[in-house]
Amino acid sequence: MVAIHHRFTDVDGHRIFYREAGPADAPTVVLLHGYPTSSHMFRALIPRLAEHYHVVAPDHLGFGLSDAPGVDEFDYTFDALARITAGVLSNLGVTRYAIYVQDYGAPIGWRLALADPGAITAIVSQNGNAYEEGFVESFWTDVWAWGHQQDERTESAVRFALSREAIRWQYLHGVPDPTLVDPGTWEHDVALVSRPGNDLVQLRLFRDYSTNRPLYPRLQQYFRDSQVPLLAVWGENDEIFGPAGAKAFATDLPDARIALLDGGHFLLESALDEVSALILDFLGTTLAR
């Protein structure tokens, strides 16, 4: 049985929680979670990866078991979350690593890659967007409106994303057999998002999401220049980031592996065996070079 360690580290005065497993001298894989979850989303994947790799899965500031200072104490932006993540890796002495990015983990991971391209050995994107083609318009209209103008109407629209109904939908939509998804997943997230003041943290990040789109040209240039090995394993029924977002990676990375699976946004909850097999095959080939 693989031992998974549950640890904290201090970054700029903030206590950041992370899960760590696997041989310290093995290649490192950093798992970056999305909204509204935490490293909890990787609880079943970590043991499989840790048989072969050193795995690090932090909770972003404001999420999971990491500190969640109020918006009057910390300026929540994706730039800031990326700096915190870089601090975690620096504290652990991790200088070369593969990344697994999903949802919010993608813009955080993209910033790490742009800041230090040589650090990234490989990328696994699981419904982690990097192209305009990936945005499903029906979902993102309210987010773009909130980013453009903050008022009572636009706030009301995005606040729905904080509700139990919306978080449950994120886990269940597009899943062929919803009974495979443990209800504890969304209840875990609802409890943390419902902490006093965390609603304002999430609203601040919803507002800042618009800053990710202008990064895409630089990111795509990085893909073209580096030809970084990439696996896009995607729930093809995702109504947040559609399958066109997975296929778009091939535009700049002709050798990218693209796998569309019958599932939704949180693919690990319903297709763990398929996803982990694809990742292990990809990393086994790529990191052995």
Q: Could you give the residue numbers annotated as active site? A: 265
Q: CA dist 55 to 30, 43, 154, 160, 212, Å? A: 6, 11, 39, 34, 26
In the numeric block, the tokens 């504290």 are attached to: 91
Q: Give every strand in the sheet of 4-11, ordered side by side.
A: 4-11, 14-21, 54-58, 28-32, 97-101, 120-125, 230-235, 257-261
- The span from the first CA to the last CA of the chain, in angstroms, equals 28
CA dist 169 → 193, 256, 270 (Å): 15, 30, 14
Q: What are phi and psi of 185, to 5 degrees?
A: -65, -50
Inter-residue contact 233 to 267 (CB < 8 Å): yes
- DSSP H or E segment with residue 13: none
